[in-house]
Amino acid sequence: MLVMYQWVGVAFWVGVIALLLRVFRSRRTLPDSDGELYRHLLRRGGGTLSWMGTWEGNRYWYSADERAGIAYRVVGDVALAVGGPVGERDGAGSAIGGFAALCAQHGWTVAFYSVEDDLLPEFARRGWDHLSVAEETIIDLADFDLSGSARQKVRQPVTRAEREGLRAVWTTWDELSLGLATQVREISEAWVADRALPEMRFTLGSIDEARDGEVRLMLAVDAAGRVQGVTSWMPSWRDGVLIGRTLDFMRRRADGPNGVMEFLIAKAAFACAAEGLAFVSLSGAPLATRELDREVPARAVDAVLSWLAAVLEPAYGFASLFRFKAKFHPRYAGLHLAITAHLNVTSDHARWLIGGYSNGGSCALTYAADHPDVWGGVIDISGNEYPGSEHVDETVRDVFGGDRAAFEASLPAAVMARNAGDYAGHIAVFTRGSEDTTFGPGQQRNAAAARAAGFTVSETVIAGAGHVGAALADGLTAAVAAVGPALGLAPPG
């Protein structure tokens, strides 16, 4: 089952690869380990994204000699590690093997998300496969400046911002005055309120993660003392020495001046350089990569991911973010999803489901409608009527090259109408909050279209729920209850 957006870094990729339908099995859990040891091992060595392993919700595995550790989460029966092992680098290979053995003992499928290039040989030696999930953008600080034509698109907004009185404040959360901290919270809350979806919390941080004392903040403050934007920067160490920082939290005022983000990133890079750090990473944007000449033919899954990238772009803007980071002329490094090559997945496509929440729900419905030969059903939790429904003109222009007829032909209802009769035995589960007046009506129309096309349809309305919170939690519970009997699965217990 593919659950998009809320945990796009977790369930999104787990669903693509594992096609999970084992949520009805009893869950075997371990007590949480001590995250303080993980923080200690981080200082010996880790990747640019390893700091995310300190975030709430992770649990930890450590090698017997405590020279290596792995942060992970268990989703259904999948243990998903956050990046590669941390600690002594020469212990990475044995750590991967040790963690895989733990997962085997508990019947978990194991995967590593956001693995860097240099760890791929360790996985290859064990017969694992990998997928490229993003390209990381890294600025080396030894020769970083804004001179020349290469960084003109950064230099101009930075110069303009300085001329207009913006100043950079390099700080931590605890060092903020009450007034500045209040403004940062207001900017974050306004950013979230402007979107129909909650913040992602697995590999994209929120204001809570920015409050950690090891995380640095860069604020853009105007002459009147008004915060116009803020970024947060996670630490990276090697052999006990801080060597770089990675961009995480990015927020700006909706009515603020243009160029604030360029200003914030450039000023953070200069601040890190002044502290003697080697690099800053602008992190990666999921599903967004450069167009490169392939040395090997593209796999079928690559085509699927390219399609998903195009569908998700209007909602998430990953490609736009990737293009923005290219202004800084960074070097690029791969981020990968490493998985065991042979997964315990049924070959019966009638038992394969794809699902999603919010925009992810409409994306899942689109894919299930378009590929009845692949998917036996779909779960749409609070989905909008079609991908990009909030940005129709931009979607037509950017994804369909201005071809509105092609856009309309791609809508889930249109696809289901064309394929009517091909959905015998297929299930479509729709859940929504009773107070979701934004997405609810569109989902109702999709449910009617699915029923008319031949799906076996289940609809659940979560009383008193809007679009987030109970709409997701109770919607997922209702969806699982609906698909279980249809697939002949026993309830959990």
Residue 19 has pLDDT above 50, yes or no: no
Structure confidence at residue 17 as a pLDDT band (50, 70, 90): very low
45-92 residue pLDDT tens: 999 999 999 998 899 999 999 999 999 999 878 899 988 999 988 889
- The pLDDT, as a whole number, for residue 242 is 97
Q: Do domains 31-134+329-340 and 142-277 have the same CATH topology?
A: yes
Q: Is the predicted pLDDT of residue 3 greater than 90, yes or no?
A: no
Of the pLDDT bands very low, low, confident and very high (cuts 50, 70, 90), residue 469 is confident
pLDDT of 174 above 90:
yes
CB atoms within 10 A of CB 275: 12
Q: How confident is the model at residue 164 (pLDDT cuts 50, 70, 90)?
A: very high
The mean pLDDT value of the chain amounts to: 83
Poorest-pLDDT segment among 41-55, 164-178, 295-309, 387-401: 295-309
Q: Which amino acid, one-letter code, is at 150?
A: A
CATH class (in words) of the domain with range 142-277: alpha beta
Residue of 193 and 427 predicted with greater confidence: 427
Q: What is the pLDDT of residues 333-378, one digit of tens each?
A: 988 889 876 555 666 778 888 998 998 899 899 989 999 988 899 9
Maximum CA extent, the chain = 67
Return d(Cα 187, Cα 229) in angstroms, integer: 8
Please provide residue 451's backbone torsions phi and psi, each rounded to the nearest 5 degrees. Answer: -65, -45
95, 57 contact by CB (below 8 A): no
- Delimit the domains of the chain by residue range: 31-134+329-340, 142-277, 349-487
pLDDT score recorded for residue 35 = 86
Residue 283 has pLDDT above 90, yes or no: no
Q: Residue 59 in contact with residue 88, Cβ under 8 Å?
A: no
Three-state SS string over 142-200 comes to CCCCCCCCCCHHHHHHHHHHHHCCCEEEEECHHHCCHHHHHHHHHHHHHHHHCCCCCCC
Class of domain 31-134+329-340: alpha beta
Report yes or no: 62 and 32 within 8 Å, Cβ to Cβ: no
Q: How many residues does the chain have?
A: 493
* Contact in structure between 26 and 211 (CB atoms under 8 Å): no
pLDDT of residue 414: 95
> What Cα–Cα distance (Å) separates residue 142 from each residue in 146, 278, 369?
13, 7, 51
Question: Does position 449 have pLDDT exceeding 90, yes or no?
Answer: yes
CATH number assigned to the domain covering 349-487: 3.40.50.1820
Of residues 316 and 47, which shows the higher confidence score? 47
| Inter-CA distances, 90 with 61, 94, 237, 490, Å | 17, 9, 16, 44
Contact 94, 86 (CB under 8 A): no
CB of 96 within 8 A of CB of 128? no
Q: What is the pLDDT of residue 309?
A: 53
Residues 326, 70: Cα–Cα separation, whole Å = 31
